[in-house]
Amino acid sequence: MQEKLSSLTKHHKLNPPSHSFYPTLLIIFLCLPMEGLRFRAYQLVFAFFIPILIGFAAPAVSAADNGGVIDETAARCNVDLSTFIPLPYSDTSNMFCRSVWNTYVLQYSQSKDNVVTILLSAVYTTGWVGMAFSKDGKMLNSSAMVGWISKEGQPYIKQYYLHGLEQSEVIPDKGDLQLTNVPAFVALHGATIYLAFQLKFAAGLARQPILLAFGSRYPTKHHHLYQHDDKTTILFDFSAGSVSVSAAPDKIGQRKRTHGVLGIIAWGLFLPYGAIAARYFKHHDPLWFYLHVGIQFLGFILGLAGIVLGVSLYNKIHAHFPTHRGIGIFVLVLSVLQILAFFVRPDKDGKIRRYWNWYHHWLGRIALLFGNVNIVLGIRIGGAGNEWKAGYGFLLGTVLIAAIVLEVLSRMRGSSPEKSQKTNDAIARPAFQNEHA
């Protein structure tokens, strides 16, 4: 029993550790008394880079825990199904068997008249398990087969049409999948759920985008689904004639996650903190300048990498999200203009320096605003789970807390007339301003 519980814990949803202590540490560390430039530099390094270490720690732990999943789930291909699953699904003699994602195993066969028999299995505790067929690798407008065992032990398997991202737009008993006369079937055997169904296609099924997902909450009494806890997209080759030529899951899902991570780190972490360095640390000259330029340049590179990956995804799956793509292009143009402005920066005493400051200041603010708007759009479009929302909210919270604390400290330093004038001059300058000669 203990071994089974360990397996369930290992193979089901892995929740990242809580890091709610970070904002408190950040405030305490930034408020420590300054004892020279070197100590203050240590404070800034802590404030800027600890969130990155925290962000990368959880995926590393998750990857280590998931090692060996494929080997363990592959043994499911040899299970005798005849005792709890009816024919034709229990006859796996002509089926191919693949471990496709986490604990998901896909067994399938395809006949000459284009009938595909599918048996999907996964480790199960509560909630629902689903498999969707997509035209472009996206959830929207795809059709899914979803199964679950109710609290009362009643099995359910239904087709859903994924018309939108809201619960009401995931419509039960609708979809484009043509089921055969053989009834679909769902069964729970030990800690594993099995979804079995037959589909008829107009032509032979070959490379097909497949979405796999699960949710830990039971559907409503009207069979509406709650949001998934996790999902992935694979490109599966149903035309494989042997085990050796079957297609492994492609990198679409991983590319989407990487695209999102790069965008969040660039526009939700580096670039805001680079702006904070320029606004609140001008009294540490020239440290603020090198921090500002270095952090902004790194943020630009990460953001550019995210955009390049987004273009690659668009060319591969042709996802149609014009608003998200348009804002991304707009933000890229603003970022390039900021880089160019750095190289044509006039002297401090130049007559046009004031106008350059206004330009640099407001262009940076607009870029940050639209960059973060696009992050929210991306999270919504991708149907990301609560972990993504919490992670982005956490980063945004650290930025806001750091800005508030530093704003208060800067005003406290401006208590005397001389310091007050100096502080006001610094605050009046742009967040992205580079005034180091």
Q: Over the stretch 125-153, which tens digit does the pLDDT of each residue have?
A: 889 999 999 887 777 888 999 999 999 88
Cβ count within 10 A of residue 135: 14
Considering only CA atoms, which of 120, 104, 107 is closest in space to residue 78?
A: 107
- pLDDT value for 317: 63
Residue 284 binned pLDDT confidence (cut-offs 50, 70, 90): confident
For the cut 80, the answer to whether the pLDDT of residue 219 exceeds it is: yes
Residue 302 binned pLDDT confidence (cut-offs 50, 70, 90): very high
- Average per-residue pLDDT in the chain? 76
Please give the Cα distance from 278 to 364 (Å, whole number): 12
Tokens of residue 326, six digits: 């348009």
For the cut 50, the answer to whether the pLDDT of residue 8 exceeds it is: no
Residue 72 binned pLDDT confidence (cut-offs 50, 70, 90): low
Tokens of residue 215, six digits: 């949710």
Residue 301 binned pLDDT confidence (cut-offs 50, 70, 90): very high
Tokens of residue 173, six digits: 């008993």
Give the residue-averaged pLDDT of 312-319.
71
For the cut 70, the answer to whether the pLDDT of residue 339 exceeds it is: yes
DSSP bridge partners of 144: 132, 160
- Model-wide pTM > 0.75: no
Q: Over the stretch 356-408, which tens digit does the pLDDT of each residue have?
A: 888 888 888 899 999 999 999 888 877 666 788 888 889 889 889 988 988 88
Higher-scoring residue by pLDDT: 423, 180: 180
Q: Over the stretch 88-110, which tens digit does the pLDDT of each residue have?
A: 998 888 888 888 888 888 999 88
3-state secondary structure of 149: strand
Q: Over the stretch 29-69, which tens digit does the pLDDT of each residue have?
A: 445 444 444 444 444 444 445 444 444 444 444 444 444 44
For the cut 50, the answer to whether the pLDDT of residue 261 exceeds it is: yes
For the cut 90, the answer to whether the pLDDT of residue 193 exceeds it is: yes
- pLDDT value for 74: 61
Top mean pLDDT of 179-188, 205-214, 221-230, 245-254 is at: 179-188
Considering only CA atoms, which of 99, 102, 167, 177 is closest in space to residue 132?
A: 177
Token match 């729970």: residue?
188
Give the residue-averaged pLDDT of 160-169.
84
- pLDDT value for 68: 47
- pLDDT value for 167: 80
Top mean pLDDT of 66-75, 205-214, 324-333, 340-349 is at: 324-333
- pLDDT value for 436: 45
Express as a percent the part of the chain with pLDDT over 70.
73
For the cut 60, the answer to whether the pLDDT of residue 25 exceeds it is: no
HSE-up of residue 35 (Cα within 13 Å, Cβ side): 4
Residue 117 binned pLDDT confidence (cut-offs 50, 70, 90): very high
Please give the Cα distance from 203 to 361 (Å, whole number): 58
3-state secondary structure of 135: coil
Distance of CA 161 to the CA centre of its chain: 23
- pLDDT value for 199: 92
For the cut 60, the answer to whether the pLDDT of residue 335 exceeds it is: yes
Please give the Cα distance from 281 to 276 (Å, whole number): 8
